[in-house]
Structure 1
Amino acid sequence: SCCTALACSCCVGLSCQCFGYAMTFTKSIATRVLYTSIFVALSVVAWIFSMYAYEILEYIPYINDTCYEGTCGAFSVYRITFAMFFFHALLSIFLIGVRNAKDIRAQLNDGWWPLKIPLLCIIIVAAFFTPNVFFTYYAWAAIVGAGLFILIQLVLLVDFAYSWSESWVAQWQGDGVEEGENRSYLYALLAITGLLYIISLGFDAFMYGLFCFGDCWW
C-alpha cells in the first residue's frame, strides 16, 4: 500500500491543479481535501487491522513475536494512530511561526507530497517494529488527548450552531433589510433543525444496533 501511495503521490500536484481548475478549488481547500483523504484512508486501514491484524501480521518476522491473537488488533490501531499523530506533530513543529502562505515553509504544508506520503508510510512501518510496552502507555495518553479533542470540537460545533442560527434568525426578522422579515429563513431553519434531529436519532439507533447486545437494551 505504501508503494501505491508513493505512486499516487507523484500525481498529487497535477491532480490538485486539475481539481483546482475544474472546480475552482483554492490551494488551501485542495490541501485540506488531501489531508482529509489521508485521514479517512488510514482510519479505514486501522478499522481493517482492528479485525484482521493477526491474520495479516503473523507471517512477518519480528512483528509476529509481538502480535498476539487477542491484542494484535488493538495494538495495530494504536500503531497506526500514533504514526498519524507523530507525522502531524513533525509538521506542526516545522511550521511554528508560519503566519501566511507567503512563508517558504508553508510549502511544506501545502506541497511536498511525494516526500510526505513516503515519510508517513515509513513512520507507520517503524511503529509496527516498536515494542508493545510503548503503546501501552500511549493508549492512556491517547484517551486523554481524545477527550480533550472531543471537548474542543464540541465547543467549536456549538459556537458554529449558534452563529448559524443567529444569522438565519436575523435574516428571518429582516435585521438591516428594508423589505422586512423573510419567513423562508424561518422555514429553512426549522427544516434543518428537524433534519438534524432525525439524523441524530438515526445514528443513535444505528449504534445501538451495532454495539449493543444481550442485556444492553434493558
Structure 2
Amino acid sequence: MEKIPWINHFHQTPNREWFETDAVLRVSLGNFFFFTMLAIIMIGIKDQKDPRDGLHHGGWMIKIISWCLMVLFMFFVPNGIISFYETISKFGSGLFLLVQVVLLLDFVHGWNEKWVKKDEQFWYVALFVVSLACYVMTFSFAGLLFHWFTPSGHDCGLNTFFIVLTLILVFVFAVIALHPAVNGSLLPASVISLYCTYLCYSALSSEPRDYECNGLHNHSKAVSTGTLTLGLLTTVLSVVYSAVRAGSSSTVLSQPSSPRAGAEKPLLPLDQKVQEEDRKKHEPRPVTYSYSFFHLIFSLASMYSAMLLTGWSTSVGESGKLVDVGWPSVWVRIVTGWTTAGLFIWSLIAPILFPEREF
C-alpha cells in the first residue's frame, strides 16, 4: 500500500501501523457496502416464492465474486472517504452494541425461563450457583477496576463515578428482580450485572494511554489483545445467535401431507382432494424472519469488527498520522452500559406498569 499513489500521497510516508489501520478500514468498508446492498435488495420479501429468496439462500458464487470486487474497489477510493467511514463506524459500532444488549436480554430471560420450567431442585440449585458465580466475578472485577483506574495520588473522579454508578446499578438490578411485585430471578440480574461491569472496564481501558488515571497504560499490549479477543468473541456469538434466533422466531409451515396419509378414505372427492393438495403445494410459504434485518446485522458487525481491530482509538485521517481519539470510544461504551441497565430494568417493570400488554 505504500506504493499506491492515491493512498500514500503524503510528503512523508506514514509508519506501518497507519497502513495496517487503513487496510482494515478499507476491507471493513467493502464488507459494509456488500451486506448493506444485500439488506436493501431483501427489503419487502414476504414469502418464499419471491425470486430474491433464492438469492438469500443461494447464489454463493455471485456473492463471493461480488464481495471480492467490492473489497478490491475500496482500495481505489480516496483517503477522505475512509476517514469519514472510520468516524461513522464508531456510531455504527455503538448501534451494534445495542443489538448485542437486546440479544443478551432475550438470551438471559429465555435461559432463566427454561431452567425454572423444569421445576426440579437440581435446576434451582444450578440457578443459584450460576447467579452466585456471576456476582462473585462482578464484585471481583469491580475491585480490579478501582485498583487499575483510580490510582492513588491522582484526581480520578470521573473513573470513580463510572465504577460506583455501575455498582449502584448492580444493586438496583437485584432489588427490583427480588421485589414481590416483580417476582423475578437473580440469574438475569447477575448476568446483566457482569456484562455492565465488563462494559465499564472496556470503556475505561479505552481511555488515552497518556491519561494519568488509566493504570493499564504500561500493559497496553496485553490489554488490547484481551479486549480484542473478548470483543471478537462476543461479536461472533451475537451474529450467530441473531441468525439462529431470527430463524426460530416464527413457526415454519410444514409441507402438505400426502393425500393418502392418515385415512383410508378421503374426506373429499378424489378430484377435489387432488386440487386441494395441489393448491397447498403451490401456495407461497411466508418467510420466518426479516432477511433485510439479517444482513443489516452483518453490516453493523463489519463496523464493530473494524473498531475492535483498530483499537477504537486510532484514526487514519488525512494527515497520515494516527490520532488518539480515545474519549469517544469511552463514552460509546459507557452509554451502552447505561442503556443496557435501562432496558433490563424496563423488561422487569414493564409487565407491572402495563399489565394488559404482553411482553
Name the counterpart of 2:14: 68
How far did residue 73 of structure 1 move? Answer: 2.1
What per-residue deviation string (whole Å, max 9, x for no partner) do you get for residues 67-113 of structure 1?
A: 83252222222211111110011111111111343422111111111
Aligned pairs for 1:1-218 (under 5 A) are: 57-59=1-3, 62-65=6-9, 68-69=14-15, 70-172=17-119, 182-193=120-131, 216-217=214-215
How far did residue 196 of structure 1 move? Answer: 6.1
Task: Select between 58-67 and 95-104 the one with higher mean Cα deviation.
Answer: 58-67
Letter in 2 for 1:217: G
- C-alpha distance 84-168 of structure 1, shift in aligned 2 (>3 A): same
How far did residue 217 of structure 1 move? Answer: 2.9
- C-alpha distance 198-71 of structure 1, shift in aligned 2 (>3 A): farther
Secondary structure of the residue aligned to 1:105 is helix
The CA distance in 1 between the partners of 2:30 and 2:108, in whole Å, is 33
The CA distance in 1 between the partners of 2:52 and 2:122, in whole Å, is 46
The CA distance in 1 between the partners of 2:118 and 2:65, in whole Å, is 49
What per-residue deviation string (whole Å, max 9, x for no partner) do you get for residues 115-146 of structure 1?
A: 11111111111111110101211122111111
How far did residue 198 of structure 1 move? Answer: 8.2
- C-alpha distance 62-135 of structure 1, shift in aligned 2 (>3 A): closer
Q: TM-score, normalised by structure 1?
A: 0.56
Letter in 2 for 1:68: P
Same amino acid, percent of matched pairs: 31
The CA distance in 2 between the partners of 1:194 and 1:102, in whole Å, is 50
The CA distance in 1 between the partners of 2:29 and 2:137, in whole Å, is 31
- C-alpha distance 103-193 of structure 1, shift in aligned 2 (>3 A): farther
- C-alpha distance 59-136 of structure 1, shift in aligned 2 (>3 A): closer
Contact kept in structure 1, 2:2 and 2:19, CA below 8 Å? no
Higher relative contact order (CA 8 A, sep 6+): 2
- C-alpha distance 196-86 of structure 1, shift in aligned 2 (>3 A): farther
The CA distance in 2 between the partners of 1:192 and 1:151, in whole Å, is 24
CA RMSD of aligned residues (A): 3.5
How far did residue 165 of structure 1 move? Answer: 0.7
Secondary structure of the residue aligned to 1:90 is helix
- C-alpha distance 147-186 of structure 1, shift in aligned 2 (>3 A): same
Q: TM-score, normalised by structure 2?
A: 0.36
Letter in 2 for 1:145: G
Contact kept in structure 1, 2:30 and 2:74, CA below 8 Å? yes
In structure 2, the gaps of 5 or more residues are 142-194, 217-359
What per-residue deviation string (whole Å, max 9, x for no partner) do you get for residues 14-44 of structure 1?
A: xxxxxxxxxxxxxxxxxxxxxxxxxxxxxxx
Higher helix share: 1
The CA distance in 1 between the partners of 2:53 and 2:133, in whole Å, is 39
Secondary structure of the residue aligned to 2:43 is coil
Contact kept in structure 1, 2:27 and 2:74, CA below 8 Å? yes
The CA distance in 1 between the partners of 2:104 and 2:71, in whole Å, is 31
The CA distance in 2 between the partners of 1:99 and 1:133, in whole Å, is 39
Aligned length: 151
The CA distance in 1 between the partners of 2:77 and 2:54, in whole Å, is 31
- C-alpha distance 211-89 of structure 1, shift in aligned 2 (>3 A): closer
The CA distance in 2 between the partners of 1:112 and 1:195, in whole Å, is 46
